[in-house]
Amino acid sequence: MKKYILHIFLFISIIGFAQDGMVKAEIDTANIRIGEQFQLKISVNETKNVIIPKLLLKGLEVVDSTKVDTIKNSLIRKYILTGFDSGAFYIPQQQIFVKNQAYLTDSLLVNVATVAIDTTKVKKFPIKSIKKEPYTFDDFKIYLYILLAALAIIGFWIYWFVIRKRKEEEDGPTYRTLPPYEEAIYRLNELDEKLLWQNNKVKEYYSELTEIVRGYIERELKVPALENTTDEVLEMLRNFKQADTIQTSQETLDKLRSLLREADLVKFAKSKPLALEIEEDRKDAQEIVSNLKPKPIIEADDELE
């Protein structure tokens, strides 16, 4: 208990020492209007081992502060304060430490008054209607983006389904199916221009020559002449001749038999006919195409007539 009483007396002595002038707080005015600034100055009669903590304020605000100045044997720090609410506000006691001992400044009262307005001298204006803000690009950019996206989609569809399709149709090759006889003659002339047998490509020449003749028979008579063997093709044509469904002569059928068998010998037995024989086979191929045709179908009305 005696120890606590001793501490109390020591604290009172410290405060008394502070009040004796070790630390001091002053303001340049005790009355301000809202927003006005005033100065707080804290002085310490010591220059060594002095600590000035951050100000503790209620209702007032620090606008600025200066660095600690040393004048003779004292330390001085100044603060610029202001208030934005009307009323009476205390700057509470500030605790200053000097050589590890605490000293308290005096508390200070500051009155913050409102600014009086003389309404009789204030010019009055009529109440104005609400005005709309002017339009800016940001107000319309979402619609612009939607429009551009829609145009891009429409453009893509037009290109994909109209322009591209039309271009493919224009660029694509156009073919006209020739009648069997015209196609065969055209291909025979193309074969002559290739000069295959003249360049020792006799096998290739006979393969293409018989393919042209077989293709003509298949298209004209509507039989699988390209897939069947030589004997099968000749057998079909003999049956057609006996049934009187084709318009040809026995000489034409004999030339066809000779041509197909000669081609088989060249392709499978490596036979090498003479140039004169090759030219003769070429003439026979054209005669076969010209003289082998189906008989026209006679309608019943035509028979009655």
Q: Within 10 A of 232 (CB to CB), how many other CB atoms are there?
A: 13
Per-residue pLDDT, 276? 93
Residue 157 φ then ψ, to 5°: -65, -40
Q: Within 10 A of 19 (CB to CB), how many other CB atoms are there?
A: 14
Per-residue pLDDT, 116? 67
CATH class of 2-113: mainly beta
Mean pLDDT by 10 residues, the chain (305 residues): 45 44 89 90 87 86 86 86 89 90 90 74 69 76 88 88 73 70 92 91 92 92 88 89 87 91 89 91 92 75 47
Residue 290 φ then ψ, to 5°: -80, -25
Per-residue pLDDT, 47? 80
> Is the full-model pTM beyond 0.95?
no
Q: Which long-range contacts (C-beta less than 8 Å, at least 24 apart) are formed by 251-260? A: 252/287, 252/288, 252/291, 252/292, 255/284, 255/287, 255/288, 256/213, 256/284, 256/288, 256/292, 257/230, 258/284, 259/209, 259/210, 259/213, 259/284, 259/285, 259/288, 260/210, 260/213, 260/230, 260/233, 260/234
Question: CA–CA separation, 188 vs 193, rounded Å?
Answer: 9
Please tell me what DSSP assigns to residue 178. Answer: P
| Amino acid sitting at position 240 | F
Please tell me what DSSP assigns to residue 70. Answer: E
Question: CA–CA separation, 247 vs 251, rounded Å?
Answer: 12
Is residue 103 classed exposed, middle or buried when 0-12, 13-18 and 19+ CB atoms within 10 A define those classes?
buried
- Alpha helices for 179-229 (secondary structure H): 180-194, 202-221
Please tell me what DSSP assigns to residue 49. Answer: S
Strands 37-44 and 23-27: antiparallel
Per-residue pLDDT, 100? 87
Question: CA–CA separation, 191 vs 185, rounded Å?
Answer: 10
Per-residue pLDDT, 120? 65
Please tell me what DSSP assigns to residue 199. Answer: G
Per-residue pLDDT, 31? 93
